Amino acid sequence: MKKRLMTVVLACVTALALTACGDKEFSPVKGGLYVNDDHTVKSSYVEDFSGDGLNLDELKSMAQAEIEAYNQEKAGLNYYSVDQFKDQEGMEDTVLPISIENIAMDEENTNELVAILDYATAADYVAYNQDDITSGGGTTLAVGTVGDSPVSIEGSFVTIHGKTVELSEIMEESDYHVVYLDFAATVTVNGTVQYISTNVSCQTRNVVTTPGGEGAFIIFK
């Protein structure tokens, strides 16, 4: 899927249309990136594939084969979705590096494909989407807590209302979640954004956009 399907119908361009104020739920739009408070990651893609000569079954088969190959290489698991084994005894705690949550035609536009992928870790997201991340100007996505951040928290920060906040104040909130990335993206978090680095633009209480080519922090609870 990454070499063929992602190029044809799931090209990640990290662009999310935002119009509402307040919280915004993650929805299947092109390039959406979602970070859960358990530090798993979700991405969604919508792409017009009219004229590509492929049907939904072919696209699904390509996606399934690509994800299964990734999971086999990374974890020795020959599955592409948790739905394949969710009712199997002894498989309750099995975690796939990447799982296809859904691939379907858009209900209103049958020329558009909607795909949602779940990633067990930020590292899996980076490994699978490295080309797209590079085109967005960076190399890294890291998720953790303030008290145990995978990346050293540094730089200048503000609240979502633009008020300057000292780094020492942020570091006191050890249980808050921290997201670091250095590529252009629009990120929805499963919580409320508390602090952002000064190069981040806050769209709503849980949606922000980041620039490419420079590190950016999002801290939420």
Rg (the chain; Cα; Å): 18
Quick one: tokens of 146?
Answer: 């303030």
Q: Are 185 and 169 in contact (CB under 8 A)?
A: no
Predicted pLDDT of residue 128: 92
**pLDDT > 70? residue 18:** no
pLDDT, average across residues 67-75: 97
The torsion region of residue 185 among left (phi > 0), alpha (psi -120 to 50) and beta comes to beta
CA distances from 25 to 11, 33, 136, 174, 191 (A): 22, 11, 23, 25, 10
Task: Output the CA torsion 203→174→169→193 (10° steps).
Answer: 10
Q: What is the pTM of this model?
A: 0.84
Most confident of 28-37, 60-69, 135-144, 172-181: 172-181
pLDDT value at residue 113: 78
Least confident piece of the model among 36-50, 131-145, 161-175:
36-50
Residue 186 has pLDDT above 70, yes or no: yes
